[in-house]
Chain A
Amino acid sequence: MSKYLLDKFLYTVDRDAGLVERYRSDPRGTVAWWEAERANVILNCPEPERSSWLAFTDVEREALATHDYVTLFELGAHNFLLLTLFIALFERDYDEPLAFQREFAARLSHWKVPYPDIST
């Protein structure tokens, strides 16, 4: 289980307009590339000074590769990062303002507090 790495994926994609589009159009390929090339880059260190140990579990990788935000929520991905990136990915596909955000809420409606732990 690597909640930190899930959050790192959401965070680094969300802050890069090109990556947002790439993840929208090719989620599986983007996740594979990111895990191979970016997952171990320490964001405030030169790229060669990278970590050596970070990897997704199979469940995490599949949830990211299928844009499955319900499973990501259940795995403890940070709610703010999850919402922000998925608004960027899918809000544009809905005609009504906030329609995607409301569908997001409805798909999680089986959850009552306490929600999955987001601590990393």
Chain B
Amino acid sequence: MATVAAVIASTHHPFYYRASTSAGAERPPFADEWVAKIEAFRETLTRARPDVLVMVGSDHFHQLWLDNMPQFLIGKAPCYDANFYNEEREFGLPRMFVRGQEELSAYLLRAGIDAGFDLAFSNELRIDHSITCPLITLRPQTDLPIVPVYTNIFAPPLPQPRRFVQLGQTIRQLVEAWPSELRVAIVGTGHLSLELGGPRQFGPHGPDPEFDHKAVEWIATGDLKSALAEVSLDSLWLPGNATHGFMDFMLMMGVAGENATADHVDTLDLFHTMEAYFTWYPHGVPGPTGGTT
């Protein structure tokens, strides 16, 4: 059976690419610290020696639109082109290209539907920065095939938080039951408190630092019980009007497992948002050469 080599959850900040590649007067003062944290985070994936990446994210009104909006969608294609004109325009993101792992896509679709999730699929999906940001931070050489998993955190009515958790739990179970010798890393990105297009946007830090600290603690300790008790579709409007992206973190908590303590936890308090990075190793922390310590 396949091995879940690592479970990784993080924020996806579209400004990282520009901040990390800029120089001189253009380089923001926080860039060096940010790059150091990302390089340490990247090492947590490298050490897991993955063969394939399951990438959980959310289309930001690029390909998926209100005339035909899926709640949960899996890409099943041999290749994925990536990033869109408005991401190039606003964030300076490059156009990218990634190979797909169609066999795992097909398996997750069939087994996921049979497990009770009526998953949508796409055979021609252009992925956006919710997936390319973690590729840029965690695997910039983009040498591994991926399976994109998209969730709707954007266009109400949204699925309930518990469905995100259940989907994460199901993905974990299905990958572990996949008849393959490959090592799979499951990577997902979301948000802590976030405001976009509202009065609290682009402040000196995230719109609700208290929520952020609580959320980081839930994620780092796998405290699904508290997260599910305190988070609802209504409550997520309070920390910021784009905070429903936190449900992708809840999905990743489902992947990691109840009460699973993260092996790597790091945060960075930036203007506008708090960045947060988590890695779990279900089979023990690998050494730098891939052995188990």
Contact = CB atoms under 8 A, between A and B. Distances in A.
Nearest to A7: B66
Nearest to B84: A15
Given A87-B90, A88-B86, A114-B237, A81 B61 contact: yes
Contact of A101 (B85, B86, B201, B241): B201
A101 B156 contact: no
Interface residues of B, number: 30
Chain B interface helix/strand/loop/mixed? loop
Given A15-B86, A119-B157, A80 B199 contact: no
B238 interface: yes
Contact of B156 (A43, A83, A111, A119): A119
Nearest to B60: A80
Given A79-B198, A105-B198, A115 B61 contact: no
B85 A17 contact: yes
Contacts, number: 83
A42 interface: yes
Nearest to A8: B66
B89 A17 contact: yes
A113 B86 contact: no
A79 B196 contact: yes
Chain A interface helix/strand/loop/mixed? helix
Given A79-B242, A101-B201, A101-B202, A11 B65 contact: yes
Interface in A1-48: 4, 7-8, 11, 14-15, 17, 42-44
A80 to B, nearest CB: 5
A39 to B, nearest CB: 13
Given A8-B66, A43-B65, A102-B202, A80 B86 contact: no
Interface of B: 60-62, 65-68, 84-86, 89-90, 154-157, 195-203, 237-238, 241-242, 271
Interface of A: 4, 7-8, 11, 14-15, 17, 42-44, 73, 78-84, 87-88, 98, 101-102, 104-106, 108-115, 118-120
30 contacts: A4-B66, A7-B66, A15-B84, A15-B85, A17-B85, A43-B65, A78-B154, A78-B155, A79-B241, A79-B242, A80-B60, A80-B61, A80-B196, A80-B197, A80-B242, A84-B90, A87-B90, A88-B86, A88-B89, A88-B90, A98-B202, A102-B202, A104-B197, A105-B199, A110-B199, A111-B198, A111-B199, A113-B238, A114-B237, A118-B156
Given A101-B202, A112-B199, 9 more contacts: A15-B86, A17-B89, A79-B196, A79-B242, A80-B196, A81-B197, A104-B197, A105-B195, A105-B198
